[in-house]
């Protein structure tokens, strides 16, 4: 047994693990972090950050076209996939370095190898065992793939950022936010995109108006959106991949992306050896304080069954560390968590869908507007914007706010603060809008829809 003892041993250096380690170290705890992969986790390396960078890149294609309506003329632009990849890789490498400096400057011990539990409070790294008063599992998740003939010929979201060649014909399998985002991004970059959704509509769990509206907008962007469609098999042929659907039809693609969900990274962590209980599909069971079935072993983020968003995992880490080392016991409020989907146009939402609101409240008022943004009166684009408020009539509180439109995430973040503070529809109505903006529509909606 190694003589090195720690107050906190963090397995996983994603956003939540790094935040937990830093904050614990600030409280004077002796902290170790084990991570064999690039620091920053999925968000920094294979998720939020590179995806948003590629989304920016995709918007330029439309911007060049739309500029003509505002009097600009320029040579025909061209896109270089290799340049985008190289620039993205350089920025991600910079962020990896930032995360390493944050840990080391905080005084944490960083171990660049895989860790596993060998017992309660015992973590083995590279054959050396370390004792810790508390262990935090924050190892994130990975993409899952459907099982059908030729499935190995498809890629996951992990590979999409560094494909050797740009996929001029892309088939995306899935109807969740990752599938819709990649479909939008690669369509904007110039690919011919087919989006195959097994269900009746994209984005299950989102407000029904949002789902229908974004499906309409995706089709406007010339994405071939096919609902109630499933892959039967993929075969390699000269010139590409033959994708055959269950209805017997087929299409040819350069790349097939499977974006059909994610699973916690809990295999090989020694959870069984430590007695940590799982709650199906590799999910770690935790109590309201993020403690597992074994005292002293904690878990948060994508490995538990809560809200799987990076800011939520970071917030969970702060709550845990405050309790363990800061002398402050509190709980995270999972109500009114805002989120965005970086489709083209963007989606942002906070609070209840209309369906959820009607299940919780006796009387619900809905305010909705759909319009062509001022920018597009000259750009020539047919893109439209959707805004929707869901109000509990009894209290007049705004319990749901939804937007599909340009920079929706930037707009909705501020309204999320107001809703967290308990804003009512009357207070929305009493707020003066900033003109001319799309955001002002949220404070000028007066008549509820039938």
Question: How much is the pTM?
Answer: 0.96
Q: What is the pLDDT of residue 281?
A: 86
Q: What is the mean pLDDT of the chain?
A: 96
What band does 398 get if pLDDT is binned at 50, 70 and 90? very high
What band does 370 get if pLDDT is binned at 50, 70 and 90? very high
The crossing angle, in degrees rounded to 10, of helices 81-106 and 15-26 is: 20
Q: What is the pLDDT of residue 74?
A: 84
Q: Which of 168, 305, 344, 435 is catalytic?
A: 435
Percent of the chain with pLDDT over 70: 99
Are the C-beta atoms of 404 and 214 separated by less than 8 Å? yes
Measured in whole angstroms, how far is the alpha carbon of residue 5 from the centre of its chain? 35
Please confirm, yes or no, whether 435 is among the known catalytic residues. Answer: yes
User: Is residue 197's pLDDT more than 90?
Assistant: yes
User: Is residue 1's pLDDT more than 70?
Assistant: no
User: Is residue 3's pLDDT more than 60?
Assistant: no
What band does 314 get if pLDDT is binned at 50, 70 and 90? very high
Q: What is the average pLDDT across 286-314?
A: 97
Q: What is the average pLDDT across 285-299?
A: 97
Question: Could you give the domains of the chain?
Answer: 5-142+263-325 (3.50.50.60), 151-260 (3.50.50.60), 339-443 (3.30.390.30)
Distance between first and last Cα of the chain: 70
User: Is residue 4's pLDDT more than 80?
Assistant: no
User: Is residue 415's pLDDT more than 70?
Assistant: yes
What band does 270 get if pLDDT is binned at 50, 70 and 90? very high
Structure confidence by residue, pLDDT tens digits, 135-186 = 999 999 999 999 999 999 999 999 999 999 999 999 999 999 999 999 999 9
At residue 205, the 3 state secondary structure works out as coil
User: Is residue 2's pLDDT more than 50?
Assistant: no
Smallest CA-to-CA distance from 43 within 107, 100, 95, 79 is with 95
At residue 40, the 3 state secondary structure works out as strand
Residue 278 gets which letter from DSSP? B
Q: What is the pLDDT of residue 450?
A: 84
Q: What is the average pLDDT across 380-385?
A: 96
Q: What is the pLDDT of residue 328?
A: 93
Q: Dihedral of the CA atoms 224, 250, 199, 352 (nearest 10)?
A: -30
Q: Which long-range contacts (CB under 8 A, 24 or more apart) does 430-434 make?
A: none
Percent of the chain with pLDDT over 90: 97
DSSP codes joined into one string, 396-442: -BEEEEEEESTTHHHHHHHHHHHHHTT-BHHHHHHSPPPTT-SGGGG
């Amino acid at each position: 047994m190694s003589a090195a003892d720690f107050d906190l041993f963090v397995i996983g250096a994603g956003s939540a693990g790094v935040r937990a380690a830093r904050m614990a170290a600030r409280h004077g705890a002796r902290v170790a972090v084990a991570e064999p992969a690039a620091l920053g986790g999925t968000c920094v390396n294979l998720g939020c950050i590179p995806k948003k960078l590629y989304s920016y890149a995709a918007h330029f294609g439309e911007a060049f076209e739309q500029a003509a309506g505002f009097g600009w003329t320029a040579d025909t632009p061209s896109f270089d996939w290799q340049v985008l990849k190289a620039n993205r890789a350089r920025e991600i490498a910079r962020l990896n370095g930032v995360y390493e400096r944050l840990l080391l400057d905080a005084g944490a011990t960083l171990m660049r190898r895989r860790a596993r539990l060998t017992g309660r409070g015992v973590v083995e790294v590279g054959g050396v065992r370390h004792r810790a008063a508390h262990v935090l599992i924050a190892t994130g998740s990975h993409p899952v793939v459907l099982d059908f003939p030729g499935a190995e010929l498809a890629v996951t979201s992990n590979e999409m950022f560094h494909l050797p060649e740009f996929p001029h014909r892309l088939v995306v399998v899935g109807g969740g936010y990752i599938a819709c985002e990649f479909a939008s991004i690669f369509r904007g970059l110039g690919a011919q995109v087919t989006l195959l959704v097994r269900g009746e509509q994209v984005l299950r769990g989102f407000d029904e108006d949002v789902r229908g509206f974004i499906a309409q907008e995706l089709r406007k962007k010339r994405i071939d959106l096919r609902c109630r469609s499933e892959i039967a098999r993929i075969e390699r042929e000269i010139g590409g991949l033959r994708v055959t659907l269950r209805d017997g039809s087929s299409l040819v693609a350069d790349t097939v992306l499977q974006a059909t969900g994610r699973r916690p990274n809990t295999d090989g962590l020694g959870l069984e050896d430590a007695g940590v209980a799982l709650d199906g599909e590799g999910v770690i069971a935790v109590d309201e304080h993020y403690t597992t079935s074994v005292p002293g072993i904690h878990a948060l983020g994508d490995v538990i069954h809560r809200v799987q968003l990076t800011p939520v995992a970071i917030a969970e880490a702060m709550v845990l560390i405050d309790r363990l080392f800061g002398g402050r016991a509190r709980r995270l409020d999972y109500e009114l968590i805002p989120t965005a989907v970086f489709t083209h146009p963007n989606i942002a939402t906070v609070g209840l869908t209309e369906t959820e609101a009607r299940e919780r409240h006796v009387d619900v008022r809905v305010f909705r507007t759909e319009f062509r943004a001022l920018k597009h009166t000259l750009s020539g684009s047919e893109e439209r914007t959707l805004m929707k408020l869901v109000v509990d009539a009894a209290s007049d509180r705004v319990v749901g706010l939804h937007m599909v439109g340009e920079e929706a995430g930037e707009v909705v973040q501020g309204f999320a603060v107001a809703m967290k503070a308990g804003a009512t529809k009357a207070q929305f109505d009493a707020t003066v809008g900033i003109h001319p903006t799309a955001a002002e529509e949220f404070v000028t909606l007066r008549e509820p829809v039938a």
